[in-house]
Chains A and B, each alone.
Chain A
Amino acid sequence: EPEVTQTPSHQVTQMGQEVILRCVPISNHLYFYWYRQILGQKVEFLVSFYNNEISEKSEIFDDQFSVERPDGSNFTLKIRSTKLEDSAMYFCASSPLDSGNTIYFGEGSWLTVV
């Protein structure tokens, strides 16, 4: 069964460093997403991406964050200058055009900022 894959599974970075989290969505999907879950808190929406542009973003997704689809398969989340509070599990997700709102998630990338 096709699945969303994410790398790395775990990354430790120093505060102020740039981080890129990578995702390969399911191949025939058209919508891509990033969500995050801070330890002990809710899974929160960050951004959605469709037709090579951001379609929606939350208040969390400020100027420190950016997303890119650099080629036909990858979808990346960049955090420009990490803060301690960026430590979280980041989930990539994708959905096809007619999914009835069903979104398929990857296994997550656990980011620890020290």
Chain B
Amino acid sequence: GDSVTQMEGPVTLSEEAFLTINCTYTATGYPSLFWYVQYPGEGLQLLLKATKADDKGSNKGFEATYRKETTSFHLEKGSVQVSDSAVYFCALSEDSTLTFGKGTMLLVSP
């Protein structure tokens, strides 16, 4: 079945550092790929998405490129802020449901 694997957290960075959170997936078809973010005390919010190979999703300075050849959708940001501290979930969808990774906690210190 479908699955998503994310790097283990927590990821601890200083403000303005470069962020990469790795995500790889296994799917039978051609899924859509997503990153969701969960800020402390809040629900899951869609951060960005890509629906086909080589698409790049972007939002709030975050980017991720749908790489079919490596089955990856790594999340990147050039300069993180303290306010980016949250749990980030990679997910895929081949139909109307989502399959999530375990989530990666990001902690950014001033």
Contacts and interface: CB of A to CB of B under 8 A. Distances in A.
B9 to A, nearest CB: 11
A68 B8 CA distance: 37
A4 B44 CA distance: 11
Interface residues of B, number: 22
Contacts, number: 58
Interface in B90-110: 91, 93, 95-103
B80 to A, nearest CB: 23
23 contacts: A4-B43, A31-B96, A41-B102, A42-B100, A42-B102, A45-B97, A45-B99, A48-B97, A56-B96, A93-B44, A95-B96, A101-B34, A101-B49, A101-B51, A101-B95, A101-B98, A102-B46, A104-B46, A105-B44, A105-B45, A106-B43, A107-B42, A108-B43
B88 interface: no
Most buried by B among A6, A50, A102: A102
A108 B99 CA distance: 17
Contact of A105 (B36, B49, B93, B102): B36
Interface of A: 4, 6, 31, 33, 35, 41-45, 48, 50, 55-56, 91, 93, 95, 100-108
A84 to B, nearest CB: 22
B96 A55 contact: yes
B89 interface: yes
